[in-house]
Amino acid sequence: MDELNLKEMIKSILNEMVNEVPPVINSPSKEATVNTRQTANSCVVEEGFIPDITEVDIRKQFLVPNAADKEGYLKMKSYTPARLGLWRTGTRYLTEPSLRFRADHAAAQDAVFSYVNEDLIKEMGFVEVATECKDKDEYVTRPDLGRKFSNEAINTIKNAVKPNQKVQVIVGDGLSSAAIEANIRDVLPSLQQGLKMFGLDFGQVVFIKHCRVPAMDPIGEATGAEVVCLFIGERPGLVTAESMSAYIAYKPTIGMPEARRTVVSNIHRQGTPAVEAGAYIAEIIKRMLDKKVSGLDLKEK
């Protein structure tokens, strides 16, 4: 529905609501009722949109009246996106912080239950497969199915990916499709450029729908890659729904302990920028190939 049709629909609804008001006869309030109808009938839908409340930078928002040390408070807020200095009316939040809380909560829910745009997957040239989860509800309630692939999916990966590469890159939607859409265009070129400095590269990228972190393990076994790097959407919170993580492992295997994974988390514009993260991950991958370990073993060395 375009904007013009939407306006006409709103006008029609308002007119219907006004016409449903019963007439008032021989009543002192008759004139007021008529005036109310005339006002409602002449209502005009204003152009434009209200300001986007989610664009407000919480780190700079300060609503405490007559603060004893406003500058100190603002300095403290600059280090954290926590909801500090929002003040109250009685025992409740003010209207704006209350609406912002609801908006951020809605964004977190949308990030979990929406899918990565198919146009982005095609634009990036990913090979798309899915785990054994049938939909988002099953993905949330059955984490075990988000780690497994059908034989058909494994064969698709084997046919599309060059075997026994030094580095295999995977992208998974995880618990935030918004995180992938916000960061993947920047992190992959940065990673590729960083790897080329070490004489390394990666080939075909696999995209996994309904992906859990251990989904990287069967792909590692199927492709024979030395290092597997999975970019996946993190569980969203009220600070941001666009945070992505990278899980990296040396020769991952099904059922391996989580201690064998190296993690780079909080990849987003207010955390570690995607471009910076890509360069850093390239260095980690080079160290893994040199030391032939990952996770805690890599940290110890």
The structure's pTM equals 0.75
pLDDT digits (tens, 9 = 90+) for 172-216: 999 999 999 999 999 999 999 999 999 999 999 999 999 999 999
Domain boundaries along the sequence of the chain: 3-41, 53-113, 118-300
pLDDT at 236 (0 to 100)? 87
Cα four-point dihedral sign 80, 81, 82, 83: positive
pLDDT at 40 (0 to 100)? 46
pLDDT at 254 (0 to 100)? 96
Measured between alpha carbons, how far is residue 215 from residues 65, 151, 173, 266 in Å?
51, 14, 11, 20
Tokens of 63: 């609503």
Residue stretches of the chain with pLDDT short of 70:
1-7, 9-11, 13-50
pLDDT at 33 (0 to 100)? 46
pLDDT at 16 (0 to 100)? 64
Separation between Cα atoms, residue 235 and residue 232, nearest integer Å:
10
For 53-113, CATH number? Answer: 1.10.30.40
Sheet holding 206-209, edge to edge: 127-130, 206-209, 167-172, 227-233, 244-250, 262-267
pLDDT at 14 (0 to 100)? 63
Separation between Cα atoms, residue 91 and residue 63, nearest integer Å:
15
pLDDT digits (tens, 9 = 90+) for 85-126: 888 888 888 888 888 889 888 888 888 889 999 999 999 999
Burial bucket for residue 85 (CB in 10 Å: 0-12, 13-18, 19+): middle
pLDDT at 141 (0 to 100)? 95
pLDDT at 46 (0 to 100)? 59
pLDDT at 173 (0 to 100)? 96
For 118-300, CATH number? Answer: 3.40.50.11240
pLDDT at 24 (0 to 100)? 46
Q: Encode 21-75 in three state secondary structure.
A: CCCCCCCCCHHHHHHHHHHHHCCCCCCCCCCCHHHCCCCCCCCCCCCCCHHHHHH
pLDDT at 105 (0 to 100)? 87
| Fold match between domain 53-113 and domain 118-300 | no
Tokens of 203: 């080939």
